[in-house]
Structure 1
Amino acid sequence: MSLSCIIIDDEPNAVNLLEVLVHQNTKWQVLGKCYDALEAIAFLKENKPDFIFLDINMPQLSGMELAGLLSHQTKIVFTTAYSEYAAESYTFQTIDYLLKPITLKRFLAAMQKIEQYFENHQPKTNEQATAGSNYFFVKSGKVLRKILLEEIQYFEGEKEYVRMVTPMEQILIYRRLKDIDDQLQPPFVRVHNSYIVNTKQINKIQDNHIYIANKQIPISEKFKDKFMAVIQQRIF
């Protein structure tokens, strides 16, 4: 698969190793190499790689701090010698978490995971989008239940699972909210680290809160601009 990436790491040897692994084992293009977070920010303003390799322990701004400044659409593969950041890393658009020193075996496993991610998230054709736009199936116990998208009011992330809410019921889905967000399109919009809402089900928006039925849902600054851009299309 042909993908583009950049490598962000303050250690030249680590950058060189990743570049060699990419060139020898993939068809990916390394668009650039950045040795600190500020250089990376400037580079990303002019370039749009499919994903970034991002070191965590860097001067000025850490990889985690940099990730918090990037668009939530930026896909990240973290590279670090520290395992304790693994859980926190998945609050971002993280595809994988590589511990240094990166071995060939671990890189190849990451390569498969990265390419599988982009295969699963390729833009749908018009025909596919139309065919799959009004329902999906949810695994509940040993049963796959058909759910109409128009009936869903919102999704609420709760640690290791997501609560899907309709006027009639609430269903627990054992997936991350981020993964569900990646599969949905408007009228579903992420408005908070813990919420995705169906804009068709909104009763009102007031004081940075959304009201759906009896539920009050906060709008976070992180997602506010994207949410309001969708809502703006419906304001007279």
Structure 2
Amino acid sequence: MTLKCIAIDDEPLALNLIRNYAMKIPALQLVQTFNDALTGAEFLRHNPVDVLFLDINMPDISGLDLIRSLKERPMVIFTTAYKNFAYEGFELEAVDFLLKPFTFDRFAKAFQKAFDHHAARQTQTETNPESLVVYAEYQRIKIALSDIEYIESSEKYIKIHLVKAKPVFTLMSLQKVLEKLPEDKFKRIHRRFIVSVSKVKSISNQKVQFASGVQLPIGKTYLQFIEEWLRL
């Protein structure tokens, strides 16, 4: 399996370094490099790739804003000289964060994370429709969909509440995990909650209740869930 990537950085030396490092990894194909963020963003809108190596502090538009502007996002590995951007980078679900100047070994480690993440997504899509694969506690964990009661957004993490086990924390947005779940089995009911439809036992006063006794509010923009649930 080969992953296609591009690099966007306003520093020519940084682009040359990424170019040289990429050549050493057979499973990584560097399609193109850009020293202009806007041109790179336009390329991405018409030419999807698997991985994006992206500087954060650029003159025309920051790497963080570039990612926010994309409807379809590749896996992102941020490359920057500034540590203070790390939190925002991971909040945008970056695979890794390379602090300049970085070595080939560190670059290769970041690529391996992206490679493993891509492989996990492929496995889930192709062979595990009844499970969810997430990264937690430095390893991949497969969670049976039937074990999930509800999913909660918790700052930059999500908290997957299970019926008969302790919750699982993973670095992912609520929207991203929703895209991985069967839409007929899981519904968003609030900006902070996704529920397993089959686990909802009752609805009252714009709240869902589970057999466990847990109650969750239904947000004003998600009230259509009540009618959908009643039709089941």
TM-score (norm 2): 0.70
Alpha-carbon displacement from aligned partner over 1:33-82 (angstroms, at most 9, x marks no partner): 12222112210121010010110000121011111112364310000001
**Which one-letter code corresponds to 2:153 in the other structure?**
G
Is the contact made by 2:37 and 2:60 (CA closer than 8 Å) also made in structure 1? yes
CA distance in 2, matches of 1:165, 1:81: 37
Deviation at 1:181, TM superposition (A): 1.9
Matched, 1:216 2:217: yes
Is the contact made by 2:124 and 2:132 (CA closer than 8 Å) also made in structure 1? no
> Given the superposition, is the C-alpha separation of residues 72 and 157 from structure 1 closer, same or farther in structure 2, using an over 3 Å criterion?
farther
1:154 to 145, 150, 154: 150
CA distance in 2, matches of 1:193, 1:18: 38
Size of the alignment, in residue pairs? Answer: 208
Deviation at 1:129, TM superposition (A): 2.9
> Given the superposition, is the C-alpha separation of residues 198 and 73 from structure 1 closer, same or farther in structure 2, using an over 3 Å criterion?
farther
Alpha-carbon displacement from aligned partner over 1:187-211 (angstroms, at most 9, x marks no partner): 34678874444466789xxxxxx96
Q: Which residue of 1 aligns with 2:169?
A: 174
> Percent same amino acid at aligned positions?
31
Q: Which residue of 2 aligns with 1:69?
A: 69
**Which one-letter code corresponds to 1:108 in the other structure?**
A
Is the contact made by 1:161 and 1:173 (CA closer than 8 Å) also made in structure 2? no
C-alpha root-mean-square deviation of aligned residues, in Å?
Answer: 4.1
Q: Which residue of 2 aligns with 1:186?
A: 182
Structure 2 residue runs without a partner (length 5+):
210-214
CA distance in 1, matches of 2:6, 2:132: 37
Q: Which residue of 2 aligns with 1:84?
A: 84
**Which one-letter code corresponds to 2:217 in the other structure?**
Q
Deviation at 1:123, TM superposition (A): 4.2
Secondary structure of the structure 1 residue equivalent to 2:16: helix
> Given the superposition, is the C-alpha separation of residues 169 and 119 from structure 1 closer, same or farther in structure 2, using an over 3 Å criterion?
closer
Deviation at 1:124, TM superposition (A): 4.1
Alpha-carbon displacement from aligned partner over 1:15-49 (angstroms, at most 9, x marks no partner): 11101110123332112212222112210121010
Please give the residue correspondences for 1:11-160 in structure 2 after superposition, counting only pairs within 5 Å: 11-71=11-71, 73-124=73-124, 128-129=127-128, 133=130, 149-150=145-146, 152-159=148-155
> Given the superposition, is the C-alpha separation of residues 198 and 175 from structure 1 closer, same or farther in structure 2, using an over 3 Å criterion?
same
Deviation at 1:120, TM superposition (A): 1.9
CA distance in 2, matches of 1:114, 1:26: 14
**Which one-letter code corresponds to 1:21 in the other structure?**
Y
Deviation at 1:106, TM superposition (A): 1.2
> Given the superposition, is the C-alpha separation of residues 51 and 148 from structure 1 closer, same or farther in structure 2, using an over 3 Å criterion?
closer
